[in-house]
Amino acid sequence: MGHHHHHHVDSSTGKIKTAFFLNLAFTIIEIIGGLLTNSMAILSDALHDLGDSLSLGIAWFLQRFSNKEHSENFSFGYRRFSLLAALINSVVLIVGSIFILTEAIPRLLNPVQPNTTGMIALAILGVLVNGAAVVRLRGGDSMNQKVMTWHLLEDVLGWVAVLIVSIIMAFTDLPFLDPLASIGITLFILYNVVKNFIKTMKLFLEAVPDGMDLNEIIEKMGAIEDIRSTHHTHLWSMDGEHHAFSTHVVVPEDASKQQICQVKDQIKEILDSMQLDHVTIEVEYEDHPCAITAHEH
């Protein structure tokens, strides 16, 4: 099992690395192109791509980094670093988006005709490069890769939008379409970033992971024959994919070793459907109160 897993991570790391360098090189071309063609729409797409380059770079770095299992200082391993990275990335994108909006909105009022030929060329390039990156990353099963593939698909759509706008502007005198497209793309980026930002913050603050019902788990545990009661039950996430769970269960004072092993197995069965990396079950006897609870009273 172990070998298979590592081999797999390497292949997905390689894919992410390729996509990262493709994207980064292209982002630089876009920013220069956006300035040369004087197009806000190109610049906002460039920002979108920059955000993706950052997340790809971070994903690539962390995929390598989080393979280091854990160290003395980080007993849980390095999975949390990806949350930190997501946070930094969100901040970069929010700042960038606000900057673009402050530039694009005044342009709606007195639009400047951008160089449409240059825009068309860049947009075609954008569709091709991001399309290639999507194909390169498809079929990944790590959450990281799935998210990346979505991001790059969004990029392709962003460039298709710019392509359509630049073609319309080449044949008609509607220069305001450029800042309009720019505002549209930027608001879309902002919406997604804020959504991710909230999700990241919830994970940072140890919220129960999405789609998991802690009360349901507690009820199921309470229904196990030899469990008298449970307390201090916690469910949290390392990075949105890998979760941890801990609980204290109280068993009858005369419970045998066999009964306790059974109780633990039954709890693990309840938890089986979840991606849990760390499960801690503290067993207490009815006549021997929990040290933590005793302090609380």
Residue type, position 196, single letter: N
Per-residue pLDDT for 215 more than 50? yes
55 neighbors 90 (Cβ within 8 angstroms): no
Token pair belonging to 22: 């493709």
Greatest mean pLDDT among 80-84, 170-174, 271-275 lies in 170-174
Residues 122, 9, single domain; the answer is yes
Among 6-10, 13-17, 32-36, 57-61, the minimum mean pLDDT is found in 6-10
Per-residue pLDDT for 7 more than 50? no
C-alpha closest to that of 140 among 151, 129, 152, 148: 148
pTM for the model stands at: 0.70
C-alpha closest to that of 227 among 268, 273, 256, 260: 260
* CATH number for 279: 3.30.70.1350
In this predicted structure, what is the pLDDT of residue 167? 92
In this predicted structure, what is the pLDDT of residue 260? 83
In this predicted structure, what is the pLDDT of residue 5? 42
30 neighbors 162 (Cβ within 8 angstroms): no
**Domains held by the chain: number:** 2
Determine what percent of the chain is predicted with pLDDT higher than 90: 5
For residues 275 and 114, what is the distance between their CA atoms, to the nearest angstrom? 50
Angle at 143 between CA 141 and CA 144, to 5 degrees: 105
More confident residue, 122 or 255: 122
Mean pLDDT in residue range 130-144? 70
Mark which of 204, 231, 246 sits at the end of a domain: 204
In this predicted structure, what is the pLDDT of residue 66? 63
Which ranges constitute the DSSP H helices of the chain?
2-37, 40-65, 81-109, 116-137, 143-171, 177-204, 214-222, 257-271, 291-296
Mean pLDDT in residue range 225-241? 80
Mean pLDDT in residue range 26-32? 89
More confident residue, 19 or 166: 166
185 neighbors 45 (Cβ within 8 angstroms): yes
Residues 112, 9, single domain; the answer is yes
Residues 233, 105, single domain; the answer is no
More confident residue, 269 or 28: 28
Mark which of 182, 204, 226 sits at the end of a domain: 204
Per-residue pLDDT for 2 more than 80? no
Range of the domain at 255: 214-296
For residues 62 and 68, what is the distance between their CA atoms, to the nearest angstrom? 10
172 neighbors 69 (Cβ within 8 angstroms): no
Mark which of 173, 204, 235 sits at the end of a domain: 204
The predicted-structure confidence for 89-109, as pLDDT tens digits, reads as follows 888 888 888 888 888 888 888
In this predicted structure, what is the pLDDT of residue 142? 61
Per-residue pLDDT for 159 more than 70? yes
Q: Considering all CA atoms of the chain, what is the largest pairwise distance in Å, rounded to the nearest integer?
A: 87
Mean of per-residue pLDDT scores for the chain: 80
Q: Does 131 map to a domain?
A: yes
201 neighbors 86 (Cβ within 8 angstroms): no
Residue type, position 65, single letter: F
Q: Does 209 map to a domain?
A: no
Residue type, position 200, single letter: T
- Phi-psi label, residue 249: left if phi above 0, alpha if psi -120 to 50, beta otherwise: beta
For residues 137 and 150, what is the distance between their CA atoms, to the nearest angstrom? 10
More confident residue, 72 or 214: 214
Q: How far is CA 105 from CA 131, 148, 166, in A?
A: 30, 30, 18
